[in-house]
Amino acid sequence: MSTVVAIDGPSGSGKSSVSRGVARRLGLAYLDTGAMYRAATWWCLDQGVPLTDAAAVTAAVRDLPLVVGVDPDGPTFVVDGRDVGVAIRTTEISSHVSAVATNLDARAELGRRQRAVIDAERHAGWSGGRGVVAEGRDITTVVAPDADVRVLLTASEGARLARRARELHGTADAVAIAATHDQIVRRDRDDSTVVEFQVAADGVVTVDSSELDLEQTVAAVLDVVERACAAR
C-alpha cells in the first residue's frame, strides 16, 4: 500500500531536513515544494520577468521548464537543462520568492505540478509506487488534503530563527539572528496572506520541534505516520 505523507509548517521549523529523514527511513520519494517556488523565482529573474507584474509572473511559471528529482538522498531541480539546486538557495532568491508564492495563479500552476508528482509517486514513480513525503506550506490543506498522513511541523519563533541562523551563518549569535530575522518573519507574514500554515487544519497532527533535535523530530513524525497507517 502506497503512503503519502504531507508536512506543512513555517520557515525554520525543520520541514526539509525532517521530511528527507522520514522519506529515507520509509523508502519513499521526497518532494520539496518550497524549492519549486524558488526555482520559479529563479526562472523569472533569469528571464527578466518583473516580479511586480503578476500576469507576467503567472505566464512565466506556466512555461517553467522544471524537472524535479525526488530522491531524498539527492533531490534535484533542473530548469531548462540547468541544475539550479545551489542557485535557488541564495539570499537573492529568498528575498524575492514571496512575490511568486503570493501570486494565486502561480500557486495554482505549481500546485497542479505538485499534485502530478505526488500522484506519480503514489503509483509507479521513483519510489516504485511506495509513496512520497511532500513538504511545504499548503500541502496538508490545498495540494494533498487527502494524504494518508498530514502533519503541521512547528516551532517557536526563537527556535526557528536560531536554526536558520546556524544554517546560513554557522552561528546563532545575536548578529546572525538579526540578519536572519527578515527572511523568517517577513516571509511567513507575506505567505500567510494566501495560505494558512501556522495552525493545523482538522485532521492534521501538530508536531512541535522547539525542544527537539533533528533525530527526535524525525522520530516524532514517524510515530505519527505509524499510528495513522495502523488505523487505515
Binding-site residue numbers for ATP are 9-17
Cβ(94)–Cβ(183) under 8 Å? Answer: yes
Q: Which residues are annotated as a binding site?
A: 9-17
Cβ(42)–Cβ(93) under 8 Å? Answer: yes
Sign for the CA dihedral angle at 57, 36, 192, 89 comes to: negative
CA distance 205 to 224: 8
Nearest CA among 146, 129, 111, 135 for reference residue 22: 135
Q: Hey, how many other C-beta atoms are within 10 angstroms of the C-beta on 223?
A: 12
Residue 67 backbone phi and psi in degrees, to 5: -120, 125
Place of cell 523568517: 184
Residue 66 backbone phi and psi in degrees, to 5: -105, 130
